[in-house]
A and B are shown apart, each in its own frame.
Chain A
């Protein structure tokens, strides 16, 4: 009978020297069966690797979402005009060959007047045109915007300046171009002060603005990646009124022989809400308002904060899925280790008997087998961490998903492997220790 204090597990404390020798002996024993040890540790390897990879991908998604919110502005609500599909369009519009859709001045005014706590509404229009600089040209969107545009969109000026209130009101032919446009049209010289031609009309370049971060529109919340950055759209940003003067509120687009006309007042608008906590309720109010004005849903409301929520939800689901995979593989790995250790204990019954006869206490036997199990699991853990660090790098490289490896993640994963070793090693070790020395010695 064992009293609690005399229980072998509870008295594992030994001198560091002795411990070190036990570890060396344990490693030798593992090394003796290289292939078996390797196969045994494989379960833990995969478990740990998936823990590391999961954490890196999860962190990456969350980092990505936060980055995106920062770009879009957490206080903003983004409204976009969406061209309704043909069969949904009202008959009268089809007859006149002009498709009229999207946000209108009426919407903007109503939002301004009826939604409380909304500070600015910045509408903009986007038109697709070719931009020319002498012989160079690029297919770009022309954005009609207000001077507050850079702040609202969280886009930095890289050179020069944005246009002013005065230039806006005077409807001057000035523009700001994004990085992509600058690189395409002015590959060698600085574009500031130069002119860009659009259909025989010249705009003077005031500055360069950074490329827009790829806006995620709901379905791909983890969306931003390097490959889409490299071919992001060329943009020419001009004062809103200048655009109105040039293009009116209807524009024509020629498409494969036929042509269609579209009448759009605003392509998008950004609503800034003063209180971050009220963004979601204001967004709901705006949705109701727009739903009344636009029965055919020719608009879309994007709320960055909701994107964040969604990203977090995605991250959580991701974590649960990968976490379960990791847990299952660690469980399977642990059971594999336990199985092999039980076999090993049986196989080494005689050795255990000899050691007991030569003076080993039960504690010594427990320690011996536990150390072997932990070393096995720990080695699996190290390999798993290395593998697990490789997976996110490969994912980033091939799938373009951002992954972030935090220093604590490999540490955590390795600790889990060691804990697995202890948890699944205790039973075989106890079984070895509890053997009757006489019977163990007699074992063939």
Chain B
């Protein structure tokens, strides 16, 4: 049986707010396997963001176990958490969160810098990723000179730079107009089709049609865990993930699928 990428066991998180303790996560248990495209949904205040922070190793649960790629990260210290983020996770944020004073290339290189990839190699990877998200003509521009859609593409390239186990996206299309949003979602679809594990946090019901699994949270608990509309695409538990294109072709492929496939099939870095 395939090793799960993410396994949460009875994760609880509470915050001290003055005298009262507010329980945000009240025992969340879930397992995510390679190649899944999971949508975490729920009304605001249900604990989505907190769960994402825990999944992203940005926050420690108050209790419970979190196995990321087989390693229990719930009890790691700050340094090891940073390393876990560096190796295993790619982040995509609603507000892109690019570093304003860095160029497109430099932004993509940030995770590689902290991973310790030598400068030249990291520059090559960044150039490849930038051209694969269609920004090869904007390599030395700063984020402020780009449109929202372009910025989110940079963020996607950046999230892929360290070849993570899972990509966590937080309302990734929330700040985009519908056209750019569709483009970005198209890239996500393709990334998933190419085998990337995606966890998407949103309250946008339209996402249900795109993912393989929908997890609905309510009051800090998993309310429902159901198959998404695209669940038939997913074969992860029993076999390997679907890879629609053999990516040995180095020629640029301008279809969305081609982009995603090329993105995923870059050599694994270490």
Contact = CB atoms under 8 A, between A and B. Distances in A.
Interface of A: 6, 15, 17-18, 21, 28-29, 32, 350-351, 353-364, 437-438, 441
B58 A437 contact: yes
Given A358-B91, A359-B162, A18 B116 contact: yes
Interface string B123-141: 0000000000000000000
Given A362-B78, A363-B79, A438-B59, 5 more contacts: A29-B101, A351-B100, A359-B83, A361-B78, A361-B83
Nearest to B98: A354
A358 B110 CA distance: 7
A357 B115 CA distance: 13
Nearest to A350: B97
Interface in B127-163: 158, 162
Contacts of A357: 56, 58, 85, 91, 97
Tell me which of B78, B87, B111, B114 has the highest count of chain A C-beta atoms within 10 A of its own C-beta: B78
Given A356-B82, A358-B86, A358-B158, A441 B114 contact: no
Given A355-B114, A360-B114, A441 B58 contact: yes
Contacts of B78: 361-362
Interface string B63-88: 00000000000000111001101110
Contacts of A360: 82, 86, 114
Contact of B101 (A28, A353, A362): A28
A309 to B, nearest CB: 59
Nearest to B86: A359
Interface in B106-125: 110-111, 113-116, 118-119
A146 B97 CA distance: 92
A6 B113 contact: no
B79 A362 contact: yes
Nearest to B170: A441
A355 to B, nearest CB: 7
10 contacts: A353-B97, A356-B82, A357-B97, A358-B85, A359-B87, A359-B162, A360-B86, A360-B114, A361-B82, A362-B79
A441 B79 contact: no
A359 B114 contact: yes
Tell me which of A18, A28, A357 has the highest count of chain B C-beta atoms within 10 A of its own C-beta: A357
A362 B86 CA distance: 13
B150 to A, nearest CB: 18
Nearest to B118: A17
Tell me which of B58, B59, B87, B162 has the highest count of chain A C-beta atoms within 10 A of its own C-beta: B58
Contacts of B230: none
Nearest to A356: B82
B37 interface: no
A23 to B, nearest CB: 13
B82 A362 contact: yes
B119 A17 contact: yes
Contact of B93 (A17, A28, A363, A441): A441
A358 B99 CA distance: 11
Contacts of B53: 438
A17 B120 CA distance: 11
A362 B115 CA distance: 14
A438 B86 CA distance: 16
Nearest to B90: A358
B67 to A, nearest CB: 19
Tell me which of A6, A350, A353, A358 has the highest count of chain B C-beta atoms within 10 A of its own C-beta: A358
A361 B79 contact: yes
A355 B97 CA distance: 10
Contacts of B97: 350, 353-354, 357, 441
A28 B93 CA distance: 26
Contacts of B79: 6, 361-363
A360 B83 CA distance: 8
A16 to B, nearest CB: 12
Nearest to B53: A438
Interface string B41-73: 000000000000100101100000000000000
Contacts of B114: 355, 358-361, 364
A376 to B, nearest CB: 16
Contacts of A21: 113, 119
Contacts of B110: 354-355, 358
A14 to B, nearest CB: 9
Nearest to B115: A359
A440 to B, nearest CB: 9
Contacts of A15: 116
Contacts of A441: 58, 93, 97
A353 to B, nearest CB: 8
A29 B59 CA distance: 29
Contacts of A353: 97
Nearest to A22: B113
A80 to B, nearest CB: 72
B75 to A, nearest CB: 13
Nearest to A3: B77
Contacts of B93: 441
B269 to A, nearest CB: 13
B141 to A, nearest CB: 16
A313 B118 CA distance: 58
Given A6-B77, A6-B79, A437-B58, A359 B85 contact: yes
Tell me which of B56, B82, B86, B118 has the highest count of chain A C-beta atoms within 10 A of its own C-beta: B82
Interface in B212-258: none
A62 to B, nearest CB: 49
